[in-house]
Amino acid sequence: MIKEHTIIIGAGPCGLAAGISLQRIGIKPLIIEKRNIVHSISQYPTYMTFFSTAERLEIGDIPFTTANDKPTRLEALNYYRTAAQRHQLRIQPFTTVTGIVKSQNGFIVNAVNQYNEATQYEAKYVIVSTGYFDHPNMLGIPGEELPKVSHFFREAHPYTGLDVAIIGGSNSSIDAALELERIGARVTIVYRGEQYSPSIKPWVRPIIESKVNNGLINMLFSSRVQRINNRSIEVATPEGKLELANDFVLALTGFHPDHQFLTAAGVTFEPAGHPTYNEETMESNVAGIYLAGVVVSRKEDANEIFIESGRFHGDKIAAHLRSLGEGSA
């Protein structure tokens, strides 16, 4: 049994920020990460540019410099990696926390590393700052399990010259469609909305509209994919059912936090779909378990908590721990 004062589960930007906040009050937490540092960002499309400006993504008072108006995925990976190194955060990567159990002295945290070696930790406090990329919002339709279906889009090159269907109308869907059309894929967007999503980046909206109006991208509004076949998809549209030739499907329907993991630890959920927690302290209904980052989002809308807001959750947690007499700084 390894004893720790505080364990943070998740080394995303919000988990790293929480670690820095705790170190400032004299607590050096252990951060346990299922994969690599800021894994969620490493899953973003290779050439993605952030919607937020660099200063709104900063943590630990380290300036985030970028060559452009908005930082790229590669710049963000370098920034957060550097921030973790400069603050000498204690991070245990490629280790999966399998459960949190209440104990006499706090909590028992069970974990398994990449070599399938089990370790038990005992911690007085636990901060859950897990992401959501392991839990895509499933469509629940026949054929969704086929190898041709992906809930991630990394880069367009592999799809050159192929029929690709994108399910969804968010920024990620529109960005993917534009990249795919640019490299010669035949793109169809299937979107349940009646018109373009109002969340589309304002400088991107005229570009996608022009591509659709000129027949370069096929846009199906008020439509749903009902079945995915090996060589086609079946789509319900206002004009009736369509069967379209298809090689690959990108189901970019979003992701959600792992609610089952929290429930097993005793955390309850509100009718709105988010876990029970105090907005001032970020403490859940289980005393000693705190939440930080996207994990406090509603199940249907993981995007309501961004890095630019979730990065401050650690400050609230640190302040509450100080009020309890924890820390030394």
pLDDT in tens, 219-246: 999 999 999 999 999 999 999 999 999 9
pLDDT digits (tens, 9 = 90+) for 1-18: 999 999 999 999 999 999
Bridge partners of residue 126, in order along the sequence = 7, 289
Q: What confidence category does residue 305 fall into, taking pLDDT thresholds of 50, 70 and 90?
A: very low
Other beta carbons within 10 Å of 78: 13
With a cut of 50, say whether residue 295 has pLDDT above it.
yes
Q: Average model confidence (pLDDT) for the chain?
A: 92
pLDDT digits (tens, 9 = 90+) for 41-78: 998 888 888 878 889 899 999 999 998 888 999 999 99
Other beta carbons within 10 Å of 93: 15
With a cut of 70, say whether residue 301 has pLDDT above it.
no
Q: Where are the alpha helices (DSSP H) in the chain?
A: 13-23, 39-42, 73-86, 171-182, 205-213, 259-264, 307-310, 313-323
Sheet with strand 240-245: strands edge to edge:
224-228, 232-237, 240-245
pLDDT for 253 equals 87
More confident residue, 88 or 257: 88
Per-residue pLDDT averaged across 257-279, rounded?
88
Per-residue pLDDT averaged across 260-281, rounded?
91
Q: Residue 123: what are its φ and ψ, rounded to 5°? A: -135, 145
- Which residues are CB-neighbours of 7 under 8 A, at least 6 positions away? 29, 30, 31, 32, 107, 109, 121, 123, 125, 126, 127
pLDDT for 241 equals 96
Q: Which domains does the chain have, with CATH numbers?
A: 2-135+255-323 (3.50.50.60), 149-251 (3.50.50.60)
pTM (predicted TM-score): 0.84
Give CA separation, 271 vs 131, 268, 293, in Å. 21, 10, 20
Q: What confidence category does residue 319 fall into, taking pLDDT thresholds of 50, 70 and 90?
A: very high
Closest CA to 290 of 1, 27, 2, 3: 27
Q: What confidence category does residue 299 fall into, taking pLDDT thresholds of 50, 70 and 90?
A: low
> Dihedral through CA 127, CA 131, CA 134, CA 138, nearest 10?
120
pLDDT digits (tens, 9 = 90+) for 82-119: 999 999 999 999 999 999 999 999 999 999 999 999 99
Distance CA 149, CA 165 (A): 10
